[in-house]
Amino acid sequence: MNEQRPIRAKSGANQEGTSAHNRRVIIDALRVNGALSRADLARATGLTKQAVSNLIETLESEGLVASEDLVRKGRGQPSTPYRLVANGAYAIGLQIDRHVSRVIVVDLVGNILARATARVPPRSPEEGAEVVLDLLAGVRTEFSARRPDAEARIAGIGVAMPGPFGVEIADDSLWLMQAWQSFPLLDRLAAGTGLAVSLQNDAAACATAERMVGAAHGLDHVVCIYVGYGIGAGLILGGELYGGANGNAGEIGMVLLGGPDDPTPLEHRASIASLYAMVDIDPADPGQFAKLETLVQTGDRRVAAWIDRAAHDLRLAVHTAETLFDPQTVILSSSVPGSLMPRLMAAIEPLRPSLSPTAGRAIPRLRLGMTDPWAVAIGAAADPIRRAFDPSFSAILKRQGE
């Protein structure tokens, strides 16, 4: 082990009553950096060596951490690295979208273990909930058959769906899935599965996926712009996912562009739905991505026109995100595989001048993230793991003030 390598870790707290927070700090440090010795962990987190030793022993007994072979370096004492145990915990992710729903199972470090899809009626949540419960049951049965001891280690179900939440808008289109917004989905899923259920919008889920296994891994200040059927932004601020007062932070797709006489939401201009409308692709078509890729590769003029317009609008969105949040980077993610997003990314450059410094940057201002139909489902699955194992400074500050 190279003892000189920089180690990224949250700060622990040596005050009495903070062991739950410190436990999460250790897990987070191992997730971000890989295997670390107790001395590494103590230096990086600011915890005492005894506190780290106690925490490591507890995590080992719980099956979340395991030791590796001794490492000898120079004349000093050999050290024992510790790593996260991938099968120490699992989580289920459920993406409910306008034309398809996806269920995925991941382990503690983000490996995909099982997944399945189903068509869910976008305007009939009562019927759709039964479809989703059957989908979840099928994936759990498949997963448990392969790993019979895993059921007790499932941290919960993370659900991701289009936002905004709790907003009354006279719009019966598929953009908002309003019928699902007022449906008691979480209660129905919790009752039907016996697991804890959490909800976030699809852009926040994509940001969670990027932080767990993607371009935001190890970063604490990130804006993730998700270009899917709609558009949203997931905000990672100070190392934590920020949702806002109603879970609607980052709903940049609702930002109005154009003149005062014809304001148009960003997602009506630069989303994949707007592209599909231009090129006559049905978003419910199972072959949608292959058809779109053919158009991109053959230089279809409609696709080129959409890229030009979307790049102009997203360049403004990046500038706004940098100005408001001062992130380390802005990540562009999408549910669309293939060559479309790299071309859109190239068209967004050069970026507008902003408050973001350009000299000596180790990370580009804009970088390409996941371009995967499963990205939102992965982020949904990562949410129960985040809730169970990631440090939350707002929570510890509350405890210390009580």
Which region among 135-149, 164-178, 340-354, 387-401 has the lowest average model confidence (pLDDT)?
A: 387-401
- Report the Cα–Cα distance between both ends of the chain, in Å, rounded: 41
- Do 254 and 316 fall into the same domain? yes
Question: Does the residue 263 lie in any domain?
Answer: yes
- Do 312 and 234 fall into the same domain? yes
The pLDDT value given to residue 16? 47
* For residue 3, pLDDT beyond 50: no
For 189-239, where are the E strands, in sequence order?
A: 197-201, 222-227, 231-237
* Structure-block tokens of residue 324: 């408001």
Which region among 50-64, 234-248, 253-267, 286-300 has the lowest average model confidence (pLDDT)?
A: 253-267
Task: Say which residue the tokens 């996806």 belong to.
Answer: 102
DSSP state of 402: -
- Do 226 and 190 fall into the same domain? no
The pLDDT value given to residue 318? 95
Question: Does the residue 133 lie in any domain?
Answer: yes
Task: Look at residues 62, 84, 106 and tell me which one is the last residue of a structural domain.
Answer: 84
Task: Say which residue the tokens 């935001």 belong to.
Answer: 216
- Do 54 and 162 fall into the same domain? no
Q: Which residues pair with 235 in a beta bridge?
A: 223, 242
Residue 9's pLDDT band, with cuts at 50, 70 and 90, is: low
Question: Does the residue 127 lie in any domain?
Answer: yes
Domain of residue 54: give its range.
Answer: 1-84
Q: Residue 190 belongs to what H/E stretch? A: helix 185-193
The pLDDT value given to residue 396? 41
pLDDT in tens, 167-221: 666 554 555 677 887 889 999 999 999 999 999 999 999 999 999 889 998 899 9
- Quote the CA–CA distance of 114 and 147 in Å, as a whole number: 11
The pLDDT value given to residue 8? 66
Among 332, 349, 344, residue whose Cα is nearest residue 304: 344
Helix axes 340-348, 301-325, angle to 10 degrees: 60
* For residue 75, pLDDT beyond 90: no
Q: Other CB atoms closer than 10 Å to residue 25's CB: what's the count?
A: 26
Select the more confidently predicted residue: 287 or 262: 287
- Do 335 and 289 fall into the same domain? yes
- Do 295 and 245 fall into the same domain? yes
Question: Does the residue 397 lie in any domain?
Answer: no
The pLDDT value given to residue 354? 81
Question: Does the residue 395 lie in any domain?
Answer: no
Instruction: Name every residue whose Cβ is closer than 8 Å to that of residue 130 and which is 6 or more positions away in sequence.
Output: none
* Structure-block tokens of residue 396: 């510890």
Q: Residue 20 belongs to what H/E stretch? A: helix 19-33
| 130 in Cβ contact with 189 (< 8 Å) | no
Q: What percent of the chain has pLDDT over 70?
A: 89
Q: What is the mean pLDDT of residues 324-353?
A: 96
Among 278, 260, 261, 279, residue whose Cα is nearest residue 269: 278
Question: Does the residue 396 lie in any domain?
Answer: no
Confidence (pTM): 0.86
The pLDDT value given to residue 169? 60
Average pLDDT, the chain: 87
pLDDT in tens, 353-376: 887 766 778 899 999 999 999 999
Total structural domains within the chain: 3
CATH code for the domain in which residue 266 is found:
3.30.420.40
- Do 124 and 253 fall into the same domain? no
* For residue 2, pLDDT beyond 90: no
Question: Does the residue 69 lie in any domain?
Answer: yes
- Do 193 and 312 fall into the same domain? no
Question: Does the residue 313 lie in any domain?
Answer: yes
Q: Which residues pair with 92 in a beta bridge?
A: 105, 157
